[in-house]
Structure 1
Amino acid sequence: MKDVGSIFAESSIKMNWFEQPLDHFDKEETRTWQMKYFERHDYWRKDGPIYVFINGEGPASSIFLKTGMLYDLAKETGGAMYLSEHRYYGDSKPFANFTSENLKYLSSRQALADVANLLKYVLTIPAFKHSKVVVVGGSYAGNLAAWMKLLYPNLIDAAIASSAPVVAKADFYEYLETVSEDFEQHGTDGCWDNIAAKFKKYEKLFKTSEGIKQLKEEENICSDTDFRKDENRQLFFLDNASRYMVHAQYGSPDTIKKLCQDQKSTFAGNIDEPNVLWNEKKQCISYDFDEMIEEIRDIDWLVSWLYQTCTEFGYYQTTNSNNHPFTRNVPIELYYRPIELYYRYCSKLFGPEFDEERVEIGVIQSNKMYGGLNPNVTHVVFVNGDMDPWSKLGVLEDVSYEAPATIIPMASHCRDLFSDRKNDPEELKEARRYIRYLIKDWIGSGDYKTSG
């Protein structure tokens, strides 16, 4: 923990560590661990607010203390900035080994208590005695921002919940329905039909051994991939649908048009983590479920996130709908047989007790604890882009006058959390201005002119 006496003498971002209880709710558990967090104070002025960017399911980066919604607000209102890393992600690991026994301390409730504990410490600093507290988060961390206001209303004064899927749901078929709507609305003429034809062709080729052989040759699939296994077939359909999913979630009308113009484009080159389906030795794609599970075990953040989906949220993007072009080949249950792709992720990674019942219990408990689409909160703004597939699980109508929802036309996932760029649509810029206005109004803080 840093020396608070020198906190305001610094003009750059600092990384520090904070000791957290392993379990905030079991007093008999005395073990602790070190949580990483960042702070920046060069724009702070006397009695200025405290802004906390809550990181979600991945390593924390200090970029949001250099640019973006939180940075802009801190600069405008003379605020101090903090960014917290989520337990079990990045460097904030209570354990080196992610066994099921060690992972049992990973939950949104524990993570919220971590942020609250850090804030309680920050608020002991005399200079912050009269400071308001604003939390900001996007995607799953957008949930956390809203839920901080729910569970710790005396600690948090306002929150921005960006692209927050606050409803837990196992069979999230609406995701691909939204992808379909995006390509139908923003794609080139005939694009949706071409996607549908491609997936129907895949489905037809899978019906014969000669068709499977042809498919492997055309799609550069490893020859030893066993497509007699339903889960391997499901992986193929999910992987190919993902090429369109990522453009709906993170793209724009222009990127969707571009993909339509080049149906051979993939998203594999746009992700930081290795593609767990790619076989480097054979230079081909290996759709082998068991091999993929072993690859996943080496990617800590992905193991952590899958554990949370298996125990709290579900969020499984299935094809259980007729309102999309991707065919119905990634259901939770296939042909009423006990081959369930997403549930199998859970049981393979964490043990047989992590089954369908465990997922459903977690979903029910999460919605009961946090309130789903009707959380009992005030001074929270819920923001969604209308292109974002995750918006189907988000708050799209005002919870109340003091918990409004705003939908940004032609915007994707978490776009409001970035600073304005020259080519951003005016609707997006206006939404950002509105969000900043709400926060400043709620915390009673006007613009603070800085020389920075």
Structure 2
Amino acid sequence: MYFKLAILSLLNLFSVYGFEFFCFNDGYRRLIEEIKSIAVRPDSPIVTRWIEQKLDHFDSNETRTWRMRYYERLDYWRSHGPVYLYIGGEGPATPGFLTTGVMYELAQETRGAMFMSEHRYYGKSQPVKRNNIEDMKFLTTPQALADIANLLRTIVKKAIFRHSKIVVVGGSYAGNLAAWMRLVYPDLVNAAIASSAPVLAKRDFYEYLEVVSKDYEQYGTSGCLENIRNQFQRYELLFQTEEGVKQLKQENNICDRSDITKPENKHLFFLTKASNFSYTVQYATPAKIQNHCSSINGTKDTLGLPNDDQNYQSKKQNCEYYNFNNTVQAYHKEENDQAYCWTYQSCTEFGYYQTATSDNQLFTNNIPAEFYDKLCMSLFGEGFNKDKVNNGVNTINSMYGGKSPNVTQVVFVNGELDPWSALSVLEDISNDAPAVYIPRSSHCRDLFSNKDGDPDELKQARARIKNLIKKWIRAGDIISHIINKVTST
């Protein structure tokens, strides 16, 4: 997703009391954390602004409005320069996106203005005070797209931007929004970068763990693949007897009070274990996968998150408590508000359930789609069942075209290592809707600037993306010039 959509990497958050909560999508959250680590100077030219939005863009009887946050940076802009909008996804907007990366470089090189939008219900852009599930009904993709359209129209109404071309950029779920802005509002948006965009909504997203498994097979060290497979098969075997369950608890420091024989708690256990590997590959390099393999080869367990990223590593002090009901309760805590909102979108529009229902993955068949259905119903009510998510998935794919959207001047970018690429556009739709597939690259890496250690393929991809955008907006300038000339004569 964080991106995302961040996306639905199975990040596990541990409290001092053990397992408490997991989030559907690490994609955008992780992207935000990395960008936030880039310091913004106190004298930064980035300005925080607010715009009034309709609560419901499609119901004339609904008159309520709300304030949406966005960021603005104009120090590189020159007359007739383009307008670049970085679309915010399932997390708070951060000004760091206007200080580095492909969009930042494009703005420098084309004398463009930069903006970043914040998605409704995330960060400080709160349309309503949520007291019950009815207050969530305005959290939909069409409403989010209409918010962006209103923001862009407001920007280009300013005299200085009246002749500016508009380019939108997004990663993970926001990559979907970037492509769909060009689809739904082609007269407003001239070009788009859709990075790691899972444009195909799908309830049973079994391909995610297939890609994770493939990454370990291709880039893991000798014996790593079999070690992972054997470990998960051993978990499954231990679950079959009372003595085995006791041994499993001892080896994995699971609380005695945790009844892991309950199906939903058992699913949580396997989800936790598999997500250690999902977490690694979504933002991996081949070297990181190899390092992870080295850390687990020859060990009895693979509980810990990768040692090279202390920010996300479990700080386990006591036993791990696997309890589905506690997980549901954790979603309602204020600090998990963003995860609650993204899960609502997953349960109503996208699915993205990262299951283990395929035989072509390493983690045994112990993470079913029904586990996520139960989570949706437990969080939002019995009506949020399998039928509802399937209806939402079908609606999204029908509205926007799935992996074959009818768009031009959109570049779809994916990394080989990224599990989300399975739901994205990997082959050219047309010459003006190309797919850029980057070997040895991961989720949304193209959106960053070149740095030491980046593979040549990634650097070349960034250069190609920028050239495509420059070509598209320059062609638009030429066409506008011809039309103006003909009109004047």
Counterpart pick for 1:316 among 338, 345, 353:
353
Q: Which residue of 2 aligns with 1:44?
A: 77
Contact 2:93 2:117 in 1 (8 A): yes
AA aligned to 1:24 is H
Q: Which residue of 1 aligns with 2:393?
A: 363
Is the aligned partner of 1:140 residue 2:177?
no
Deviation at 1:272, TM superposition (A): 6.6
Deviations 1:115-141 (A, max 9, x none): 000011001110001100000000000
SS in 2 for 1:159: strand
Q: Which residue of 2 aligns with 1:59?
A: 92
Is the aligned partner of 1:304 residue 2:341?
yes
SS in 2 for 1:37: strand
Paired with 1:248 and 1:107, the residues of 2 have a C-alpha distance of: 29
Is the aligned partner of 1:348 residue 2:378?
yes
Paired with 1:329 and 1:268, the residues of 2 have a C-alpha distance of: 26
Quick one: structure 1 residues 269 and 57, their matched pair in 2 at CA, closer, same or farther if it must change by over 3 Å?
Answer: farther
Q: Which residue of 2 aligns with 1:13?
A: 46
Quick one: structure 1 residues 193 and 61, their matched pair in 2 at CA, closer, same or farther if it must change by over 3 Å?
Answer: same
Deviation at 1:269, TM superposition (A): 8.9
Counterpart pick for 1:328 among 360, 365, 377:
365
AA aligned to 1:22 is L
Q: Which residue of 2 aligns with 1:260?
A: 293
Deviation at 1:167, TM superposition (A): 0.2
Gaps spanning 5+ residues in structure 1: where? 1-9, 333-339, 447-452
Counterpart pick for 1:198 among 207, 225, 231:
231
Is the aligned partner of 1:157 residue 2:194?
no
Q: Which residue of 2 aligns with 1:439?
A: 469
Gaps spanning 5+ residues in structure 2: where? 1-42, 297-301, 477-489
Paired with 2:442 and 2:92, the residues of 1 have a C-alpha distance of: 22
SS in 1 for 2:414: strand
SS in 2 for 1:262: helix
Is the aligned partner of 1:32 residue 2:65?
yes
5 Å matches for 1:167-186?
167-186=200-219
Deviations 1:69-115 (A, max 9, x none): 11010011100000000001111111232631010000111101000
Quick one: structure 1 residues 142 and 205, their matched pair in 2 at CA, closer, same or farther if it must change by over 3 Å?
Answer: same
Q: Which residue of 1 aligns with 2:106?
A: 73
Q: Which residue of 2 aligns with 1:113?
A: 146
Deviations 1:189-210 (A, max 9, x none): 0101000011011101111111
SS in 1 for 2:412: strand
SS in 1 for 2:194: strand
Deviation at 1:268, TM superposition (A): 9.3
Quick one: structure 1 residues 439 and 143, their matched pair in 2 at CA, closer, same or farther if it must change by over 3 Å?
Answer: same
Is the aligned partner of 1:430 residue 2:460?
yes
Is the aligned partner of 1:419 residue 2:449?
yes
AA aligned to 1:142 is G
Deviation at 1:221, TM superposition (A): 1.3
Contact 1:384 1:414 in 2 (8 A): yes
Q: Which residue of 1 aligns with 2:280?
A: 247
Quick one: structure 1 residues 79 and 445, their matched pair in 2 at CA, closer, same or farther if it must change by over 3 Å?
Answer: farther
Paired with 1:165 and 1:303, the residues of 2 have a C-alpha distance of: 20
Counterpart pick for 1:386 among 389, 392, 416:
416
Identical aligned residues as a percent = 54
Counterpart pick for 1:399 among 429, 438, 461:
429
Contact 1:99 1:350 in 2 (8 A): no
Contact 1:11 1:42 in 2 (8 A): no
Paired with 2:393 and 2:307, the residues of 1 have a C-alpha distance of: 31
Q: Which residue of 1 aligns with 2:320?
A: 285
Deviation at 1:283, TM superposition (A): 1.8
Q: Which residue of 2 aligns with 1:410?
A: 440
AA aligned to 1:73 is L
Q: Which residue of 2 aligns with 1:3?
A: none
Contact 2:239 2:261 in 1 (8 A): no
Paired with 1:355 and 1:65, the residues of 2 have a C-alpha distance of: 40
Deviation at 1:228, TM superposition (A): 2.6
Is the aligned partner of 1:210 residue 2:240?
no
Paired with 1:399 and 1:249, the residues of 2 have a C-alpha distance of: 25
Paired with 2:46 and 2:100, the residues of 1 have a C-alpha distance of: 12
Paired with 1:86 and 1:313, the residues of 2 have a C-alpha distance of: 16
AA aligned to 2:386 is E
Greater shift, 13-22 or 183-192, is seen at 13-22
SS in 2 for 1:284: coil
Paired with 1:240 and 1:192, the residues of 2 have a C-alpha distance of: 15
Paired with 1:202 and 1:310, the residues of 2 have a C-alpha distance of: 29
Paired with 1:222 and 1:149, the residues of 2 have a C-alpha distance of: 51
Contact 1:11 1:41 in 2 (8 A): no
Contact 2:305 2:313 in 1 (8 A): no
Contact 1:98 1:300 in 2 (8 A): no
- Per the normalisation by structure 2, the TM-score is 0.85
AA aligned to 1:314 is G
SS in 1 for 2:50: strand
Runs of 4+ in 1 over 2 A off after TM superposition: 95-99, 267-275
- Per the normalisation by structure 1, the TM-score is 0.91
Quick one: structure 1 residues 39 and 234, their matched pair in 2 at CA, closer, same or farther if it must change by over 3 Å?
Answer: same
Contact 2:129 2:135 in 1 (8 A): no
Deviations 1:257-294 (A, max 9, x none): 0000012441599587897xx8x8x7222110000110
SS in 2 for 1:137: strand
Paired with 2:228 and 2:292, the residues of 1 have a C-alpha distance of: 11
Deviation at 1:11, TM superposition (A): 6.5
Paired with 2:376 and 2:213, the residues of 1 have a C-alpha distance of: 28
Paired with 2:148 and 2:310, the residues of 1 have a C-alpha distance of: 28
Q: Which residue of 2 aligns with 1:7?
A: none
